[in-house]
Amino acid sequence: MDSEAFFKYLERQSESNSKLSAEEFYNQF
C-alpha cells in the first residue's frame, strides 16, 4: 500500500466531496 498515493486519493475525494469510504478504496487494490 502506497501511503503517498492514499493521501493524494483522500485529497481528490475531499475536493470532489465524495463519500467513498477507505474500505472501498482498499478494495481497489
User: What is the tens place of the pLDDT at every residue in 1-29?
Assistant: 688 988 888 788 776 555 566 677 777 76
Instruction: Give me the domain span that covers residue 5.
Output: 1-29
Q: What is the pLDDT of residue 18?
A: 53
DSSP E strands in 1-29: the ranges are none
Q: What is the pLDDT of residue 15?
A: 67
Q: What is the pLDDT of residue 9?
A: 82
**Pick from 11, 5, 4: which is nearest to 28 by CA?**
5
Q: What is the pLDDT of residue 20?
A: 61
Number of domains present in the structure of the chain:
1
- Entry pTM: 0.40
